[in-house]
Amino acid sequence: MKNKSTKLFRRILSVILAAVMAVTCMITAVYAKGTGKKYYNHYPVVLVHGFMGWGEQDAQDSSRPYWGFNLVEHLQSEGYEVYHPSLGPFTGAWDRACELWAYLYGGTVDYGKVHSEKCHHKRYGRTYAKGAIADLGKTEAHKKIELLGHSFGGPTVKQFVELLSNGSAEEREGTDAKDLSPLFKGGHGDIIHTVTTLDGVNNGTTLADLVSPLYPEIVRAMLLVTMVMKDANLESKTMDLGQEQFGLGDYPELKKQITLHSPFDTQKGIDAYANDRMDNIAEEMTIDFCQEENEKQGVNPHIYYFAQRALATKQGEDGKPVPLDFMSTTCRIPATLMCKELPTDRVKTLKLDDSWWPNDGYVNVIGQSAPLNQPAKEGTWDTKFQPGVWYNMPVIAADHVFWMGMSGTQKDLWAIFDQMLDLYRQLPDA
């Protein structure tokens, strides 16, 4: 009799809770006054920087923000809760995903027992005493996030969502259950509302394939000089290299003394990073690598996906692209290389054709588009969007650094971010 009463009580309680949730959803889904728009949420926004980028933990972000034209301040003035973490500027997508998890929830970065052994670096990274959104997924206000990644932030958010949704079978099999990071268990995909790549390296870029044969030597020289000089002047100490797992320094602290470091102290870590195919950010932007990763990843049926794309070239008389006049100098230099040839002899997974010529100075338009192996549609701002499908949004006339406020105008940058985030508020939870 007691068991029957308990079951009845539980059923009644579940009905009451369901009713409360339904009412909550109805209240949350309010109409914006005078616009006719139906808003379902107002989730936090997380912006993920690209290769050689920086975020809110880097000292230089206060004087030279990655998200320029005061974008973060503008979004905050519009009522958005905005986060823009500092992830490893030279770090691969897997390691960055692990850093993003620790940044959001707090705790020590765990790169995974199996992964760290495979990639010859330390398993653990820095510790976040407090998570930026520690109650993510646990409260109505922080039920989900809008996740946007620029450039290599594209592969980063794709990898992050894959681990959130499905975890890692390798890590689960090779790690004691008590010692396994929650990230590798999977089952957390419901904390993401939308995924947006901003000129993301979703399918790779011909630029990476054109320079990849030289990259190990380039990165050795670049990291070696940076590590030797990292305490030699104020500028070199304002950006976190994010390479602690390779033994390449810790989080930068502004110190009064000026010191030089021995190149022999970091040579082993630099070699481990430069010679590895995984965790080597330039290798991870090659077309073949991106296709291989895309095959391992899928779409989460409960998440909305958007590929925002930009074009800053036109077809020249010889059929090859030439930069448009508005392309910034920052993009014009790599574009010169991209506009000369296609690395057809280096790419094995795809047959490159004329569709790969158009680019934004760093990434080909087809490289910025939805992963080629995943469900995708052409989208407009009036499309009735469905979760579990990538939408290739209209290509805008801009170059790669437009999203950083390094080209274009403040008005245009603010306008497209306002348009995106306003749209996402109108998308009900899937």
pLDDT in tens, 171-198: 999 999 999 999 999 999 999 999 999 9
- Residue 251's pLDDT is 39
- Domain with residue 157: its CATH number is 3.40.50.1820
In a domain, 152, yes or no: yes
Write down the pLDDT at residue 270: 61
Number of domains present in the structure of the chain: 2
Judgement on whether residues 115 and 176 belong to the same structural domain of the protein? yes
- 239 has a pLDDT exceeding 70: no
In a domain, 259, yes or no: no
pTM of the model as a whole: 0.87
- Give the DSSP H/E element, type plus range, for residue 147: strand 145-150
Confirm whether 222 is domain-assigned.
Answer: no
Residue 430 maps to a domain: no
Distances (CA, A) of 335 to 31, 282, 321, 390, 396: 45, 16, 9, 27, 17
- The answer as to whether 255 is a domain residue is no
Co-location of 15 and 72 in the same domain: no
**275 Cβ contact list (under 8 Å, min separation 6):** 216
Residues 110, 50 share a domain: yes
Do 87 and 142 fall into the same domain? yes
Residues 7 and 82 in one domain: no
Residue-by-residue DSSP string for 310-337: EE-EEE-TTSSEEE-TT--HHHHHHHHH
Residues 7 and 128 in one domain: no
Q: Which residue has the tokens 């905005």?
A: 82
Q: Which of 86, 98, 75 is nearest to 53 (CA)?
A: 86
Do 412 and 284 sit in the same domain of this protein? yes
Residues 11 and 138 in one domain: no
50 three-class SS: coil
Q: Is 107 helix (H, G, I), strand (E, B) or coil?
A: strand
- How would residue 120 be classed by pLDDT, with cut points 50, 70 and 90? confident
Same domain for 206 and 355?
yes
Q: What is the pLDDT of residue 274?
A: 58
11 is in which domain, residue-wise? 2-31
In a domain, 200, yes or no: yes
In whole angstroms, give the CA distance from residue 44 to residue 193: 10
Residue 292 CA to residue 245 CA, distance in Å, equals 24
**Bridge-partner residues for 231, per DSSP?**
259
pLDDT in tens, 316-350: 999 899 999 999 999 999 999 999 999 999 999 99
Contact 258, 233 (CB under 8 A): yes
Residue 227 located in a structural domain: no
126 and 23 within one domain: no
**Does 298 fall in a domain?**
yes
Least confident of 31-45, 244-258, 416-430: 244-258
Residue 131 has pLDDT above 60, yes or no: yes
Scanning 240-371, the segments in alpha helix (DSSP H) are 267-275, 287-296, 329-338, 365-368
Are residues 10 and 52 both part of a single domain?
Answer: no
Cβ-count burial of 139 within 10 angstroms (0-12 exposed, 13-18 middle, 19+ buried)? Answer: exposed
**CB–CB of 19/12 below 8 Å?**
no
Assess whether 160 and 293 both reside in one domain: yes
Q: Is residue 205 scored above 80 in pLDDT?
A: yes
